[in-house]
Amino acid sequence: MRGGKKIAAALATLLAAFPFVHAARAQLATPPAAPAPPVTLTWNAPAGCSDSETILKEVAHLRGDDVRADKLDATATVSLDPSGVWNLQITTILPNGTHAERQIQAESCKAAADATASILALALTQAAASETSTETATKTEAIPTATATSTSTSAPTVAPRPSASISTVTHPSPSRTKPKSRSSSRSSDLTPHLYFGASLGGTSGDLPSLGFGALGEIGVAYGALRVETYGGYWALGVARFSKPGGARFQLLDAGARTCLSFGDTFQVGPCAAFELGSLRGESFDVTRPSSGSALNAEALLGGLGTLSLDKSGLFRVRALLEIGADVDRPEFVLDGVGFVHQPAPIVGRGTVGAELRF
């Protein structure tokens, strides 16, 4: 009996000590909590969403005990748009100044919070890797996707977030836009320009003496090519007789001219023209005054120069010098006097004026 009492007392002692032994074993079996990650998170989200403490715990869980990275500053903002999509905008800044921004669309606020934790964990992993790397070039920060799992031999695996789609906001460096080059020569302009001109000048050879007159021109300039028609009136050519009296001559002509013009502000080029005219003579200070006219035809070659007076090139001054041959040289004879005038085989002409382009 005495031995049975001792055995019973020993059993009672063991049973009383068992809860304390079990508690001690349970305490020893509980793994230590993951250290808090080196992250400063500013979390802006509607009421009912996960808080920043929950997100940081998830970051610590994803990274385990790997806390080699420097401090990371992050700001995350979650909002719900009218279509029911949750929008997350997150900005991360590393101590070395590396800056990244992301925009995420998620099905719920919880999904946006999970994506935030994944992004922060990966950012810390990359920061830790860059500290131990010998490369000096800045590495482009990788972006986690909603359907892919990133694995690394030196960092823990980041769990995928299938409920969130992620897009990246890039900040391209400003670049200089090279202005389009403009042609240095207006003669290369292939837009037709209608122009009107007016000129004053002198002529020699088709009248008995130096004559003066006025002309009007209308034409089209297309690139380096110019085609114009003109009409002129030349007068003041006088033939003196050996006896008292003389004859006055005038020329009314019309023709067509084509030129090539090269240059920009100042243009110059060759010209060719052909004209028909009415040459008329009238005697004066004679016993029996009379008059007569004849058809006159001339072919001319010369050069035209124009100078623009404004940046648009619409208003220009012009100068034209020509030398030509009289194709049909009519002869003028006056009764009682005899021969009076015949145009010279070679004629010369010069004019100056202005033109307006449209």
Q: Which two tokens stand for residue 135?
A: 């490369």
Measured over the CA atoms of residue 119, residue 122, residue 128 and residue 129, the dihedral's sign is negative
Using the predicted structure, report yes or no on whether residue 182 has a pLDDT greater than 50.
Answer: no
Question: Which pLDDT band, with edges at 50, 70 and 90, does 350 fall under?
Answer: very high
Q: Tell me the pLDDT of the chain averaged across its residues.
A: 78
Of 4-8, 128-132, 167-171, give the lowest mean pLDDT range: 167-171
Within a 13 Å sphere around the CA of 22, how many CA atoms are in the beta-carbon half? Answer: 6
Residue for token pair 């903002």: 77
Higher-confidence residue: 60 or 231?
231
Whether the per-residue pLDDT at 224 is higher than 80: the answer is: yes
* Residue 292, both tokens: 């007569």
pLDDT tens digits, one per residue of 45-56: 888 888 888 888
Radius of gyration of the CA atoms of the chain, in A:
51
Q: Are 216 and 242 in contact (CB under 8 A)?
A: no
Q: What tokens were used for 14? A: 């063991």
Q: Which phi and psi (to 5°) does residue 138 adopt?
A: -70, 130
Instruction: Label the pairing between strands 291-308 and 315-328.
Output: antiparallel
Using one digit for the tens of pLDDT, what is the confidence trace for 273-294?
999 999 999 999 888 888 999 9
The tokens for 182 are 């403009």
Per domain, the residue ranges of the chain are 29-134+143-168, 186-357
pLDDT surpasses 80 at 269? yes
The answer to which of 69-78, 161-170, 296-305 has the lowest mean pLDDT is 161-170
pLDDT digits (tens, 9 = 90+) for 236-265: 999 988 878 899 999 999 999 999 999 989
- Per the listing, tokens 């029911």 go with 84
Q: What is the mean predicted confidence (pLDDT) over 135-146?
A: 45
Percent of the chain predicted with pLDDT > 90: 39
Q: What is the crossing angle of helices 52-63 and 109-132, to 10°?
A: 50
**Nearest Cα residue to 37 out of 118, 133, 104, 150:** 118
User: pLDDT-based confidence at 5, cuts 50/70/90?
Assistant: low
Beta strands in the chain (DSSP E): 39-44, 72-80, 86-93, 99-106, 164-168, 193-204, 211-222, 225-240, 246-260, 262-263, 266-284, 291-308, 315-328, 332-334, 338-341, 346-357
Tell me the mean pLDDT in the region 20-44: 58
Compute φ and ψ for 123, nearest 5 degrees. -60, -40
Asked if 204 and 349 touch (Cβ cutoff 8 Å), the reply is yes
Distance CA 300, CA 164 (A): 84
pLDDT band at 229 (very low <50, low <70, confident <90, very high): very high
What percentage of residues in the chain have a pLDDT greater than 70? 71
Categorize the per-residue pLDDT at 40 as very low, low, confident or very high, splitting at 50, 70 and 90.
confident
Instruction: State phi, psi for 63 to the nearest 5 degrees.
Output: -90, -15
Burial class (CB in 10 A: 0-12, 13-18, 19+), 47: exposed
- Please compute the mean of the pLDDT values over residues 118-145 and round it to a whole number: 63
pLDDT (0 to 100) of residue 188: 54
Task: Using DSSP bridges, classify how beta strands 39-44 and 72-80 pair: parallel, antiparallel or unpaired.
Answer: parallel
The CATH number for 186-357, chosen from 3.50.50.60, 3.10.20.30, 2.40.160.20, 3.40.50.720, is 2.40.160.20
Mean pLDDT of 328-352: 91
